[in-house]
Amino acid sequence: MITARDCIVVNAHCGIVYSAPSHAHFHETGDSVNNLRVKTALLANGWADDVSIDIDADGDIAGVQSGVAGASDGCLLPGIANVHSHAHQRAMAGLAERAGGGDDDFWGWRALMYRFLDAVQPEHLRAIAAQLYVEMLKAGYTRVAEFHYLHHQSGGGRYENIAEMSLQILAATIDTGIGITHLPVYYQFGGFGERPMSEKQLRFANDPAHFLTLFEALKNEIGHDKNTTLGIAAHSLRAINKETFGEILDALAKHGALPVHIHIAEQSGEVDECIAWSGARPVEYLYENFAVDRNWCLIHATHMTDFETAQLAASGAVAGLCPTTEANLGDGFFNAARYLAEGGRIGIGSDSHISVSPVEELRWLEYGQRLVHRSRNRLSAGCGLGTGRRLYDLAVAGGAQACGHNSGAIAPGKRADFIVLDTAHPLLCERHGDELIDSWVFSGNENSVRDVYVGGKRVIENGRHACEADIRRRFLSAMKALRAR
Q: Verify binding: residue 148, ligand NGQ, rule CB under 6 A.
A: no
Measure the CA–CA gap between 71 and 436, rounded to whole angstroms. Answer: 18
Q: Which residues 218-247 are close enough to bind ligand NGQ by CB under 6 A?
A: 236
Q: In the bound complex, what is the minimum distance in angstroms from residue 402's beta carbon to ligand NGQ?
A: 16
Reduced to 3 states (helix: H, G, I; strand: E, B; else coil), residue 78 is strand
Measure the CA–CA gap between 178 and 162, rounded to whole angstroms. Answer: 24
Among candidates 473, 458, 457, which has minimal Cα distance to 225?
Answer: 457
Site string for ligand NGQ, 308-337 (x = CB under 6 A): -----------------x---x--------
Q: Which does 352 bind (CB under 5 to 8 A by kind): Zn ion, ligand NGQ, none?
A: ligand NGQ
Q: Verify binding: residue 85, ligand NGQ, rule CB under 6 A.
A: no
Q: In the bound complex, what is the minimum distance in angstroms from residue 228's beta carbon to ligand NGQ?
A: 22
Q: Which does 225 bind (CB under 5 to 8 A by kind): ligand NGQ, Zn ion, none?
A: none
Reduced to 3 states (helix: H, G, I; strand: E, B; else coil), residue 222 is helix
Report CA Rg, the chain: 21
Measure CA 459 to chain center: 18
Beta strands 449-454; 457-460: pairing state: antiparallel
Indicate the residue whose CB is closest to Zn ion: 351
The residues pairing with 142 across neighbouring beta strands, listed in sequence order, are none
Eight-class DSSP state of 196: P
Q: Verify binding: residue 352, ligand NGQ, rule CB under 6 A.
A: yes
Q: Verify binding: residue 263, ligand NGQ, rule CB under 6 A.
A: yes
The nearer residue to ligand NGQ, 329 or 421, going by C-beta atoms, is: 329
Q: In the bound complex, what is the minimum distance in angstroms from residue 316's beta carbon to Zn ion?
A: 22
Q: In the bound complex, what is the minimum distance in angstroms from residue 352's beta carbon to ligand NGQ?
A: 5
Q: In the bound complex, what is the minimum distance in angstroms from residue 198's beta carbon to ligand NGQ?
A: 11
Measure the CA–CA gap between 373 and 371, rounded to whole angstroms. Answer: 6
Reduced to 3 states (helix: H, G, I; strand: E, B; else coil), residue 343 is coil
Among candidates 381, 387, 282, 300, which has minimal Cα distance to 338?
Answer: 381
Q: In the bound complex, what is the minimum distance in angstroms from residue 326's beta carbon to ligand NGQ?
A: 8
Q: In the bound complex, what is the minimum distance in angstroms from residue 417's beta carbon to Zn ion?
A: 23
Beta strands 296-300; 61-65: pairing state: unpaired
Q: Which among 2-10, 27-35, 290-298, 348-356 is the span making contact with Zn ion, rule CB under 5 A?
A: 348-356
Site string for ligand NGQ, 161-180 (x = CB under 6 A): --------------------
Measure the CA–CA gap between 196 and 152, rounded to whole angstroms. Answer: 17
Site string for ligand NGQ, 92-131 (x = CB under 6 A): ------------------x---------------------
- Alpha carbons within 13 angstroms on the beta-carbon side of residue 303 total 18
Among 135, 221, 266, 284, binds ligand NGQ (CB under 6 A): 266
Q: Which does 325 bind (CB under 5 to 8 A by kind): ligand NGQ, Zn ion, none?
A: ligand NGQ
Catalytically active residues, by annotation: 300, 351
The nearer residue to ligand NGQ, 104 or 216, going by C-beta atoms, is: 104
- Phi/psi for 305 (5° steps) reads -75, 170
Alpha helix locations (H) across 58-163? Answer: 106-117, 122-139
Q: Verify binding: residue 37, ligand NGQ, rule CB under 6 A.
A: no
Q: Verify binding: residue 39, ligand NGQ, rule CB under 6 A.
A: no
Measure CA 5 to chain center: 26
How far does the chain reach from its first CA to its final CA, in angstroms? 20
Residue ranges binding ligand NGQ (CB under 6 A): 86, 110, 236, 263, 266, 325, 329, 351-352
Residue ranges binding Zn ion (CB under 5 A): 351
